[in-house]
Copies of this chain bind each other. A is one copy, B any other.
Amino acid sequence: MATQERAVRTRNALIESAAELFGRDGFEPVSLALISARAGVSSGALHFHFPSKEALAEAVVRLAGQRLDEITSRSTGRPLQMLIDAMHLLAQALRSDAVLRAGFDLSCNSARVEASRDLRRTWQEWVEGALDRAEREGTLAHGVTAQDVANAVVAAAAGIETLGSRDPRWYSHATVTGFWALLLPRLVEGPALGELMASGSAGDCAAFA
C-alpha cells in the first residue's frame, strides 16, 4: 500500500472512531487517547493528522456535510418526489452512518465546536428550494404554501434525526413512508397524487394510493 493511501486510511479511521465515540459519550468526555486506541493508530499518528480534538470534530462535520450533499444531489426529478426520496436516503444513512449522526449533532448542538457548517441549515435550505420549485410548478394544492410545508418537513426530519439517535425505529423506512403517506394527500390534488410514491421512488412499493 502506498504511503499516501495509508495516510488516507489512517485519517478516515480516526474520523470514524471519533464520530462513534462522540455519538456514544458526547464531545467533551472523549479523550484523544481513546480515539487513537479505537482506530488502532498511535497517538503520534493522530497528532500528525489532527492537532486537536476540535480539529477532529471539524473533520467529522466536513465529511458528514459531503455525505449530506451526496444524498441531496442523488435525488433528482420532480421536486416533491425528490424530497421524499431524499428524506428516505437521509434516514437510511443516519441509521448506519455514525459520521453523519455525529456531524449533525456537532454542527448544530455543540457550544464547544465552531463547526464550519450547520448541517440542519444545509438541509433546510435544500428542502425550501425543492418546495419553492414545487410551488412555482403549480404542484401544491390550493391553500398550501411552500413555507408551511418546508417547516413541517424540516421539523419532522430534525425530530427523526434527534429521536433516532436513541431509538433507531425513527430511522425506519416505515416511519418515513408513514409521514409522507399522511402528508401527501394534503399537498397534492388530483391525478398528480397517484404519481407520487410515499415509500420512495427507489422502493419496492407501489405508487401512492
> Which residue numbers of A lie inside 8 Å of B, CB to CB?
24-29, 108-112, 118, 120, 144-145, 147-149, 151-152, 154-160, 162-163, 165-166, 170, 175, 178-179, 181-183, 185-186
Contacts and interface: CB of A to CB of B under 8 A. Distances in A.
Nearest to A209: B143
A152 B179 contact: yes
Contacts of A163: 120, 154-155, 158
Contacts of A110: 26
Given A24-B111, A112-B26, A179 B159 contact: no
Given A26-B28, A182-B186, A186-B185, A159 B148 contact: no
Main secondary structure of the interface of A (DSSP, over half): helix
A88 to B, nearest CB: 14
A35 to B, nearest CB: 15
**Copies of this chain in the oligomer:** 2
B155 A159 contact: yes
Contacts of A165: 109
Contacts of A112: 25-26, 29
B186 A148 contact: no
Contacts of A175: 151, 155
Contacts of A186: 182-183, 185-186
A155 B182 contact: no
A29 B170 CA distance: 30
A133 to B, nearest CB: 18
Contact of A170 (B144, B155, B160, B178): B155
A154 to B, nearest CB: 7
B151 A178 contact: yes
A179 B162 contact: no
Contacts of A162: 108-109, 158-159, 162
A152 B148 contact: no
Contacts of A148: 178-179, 181-182
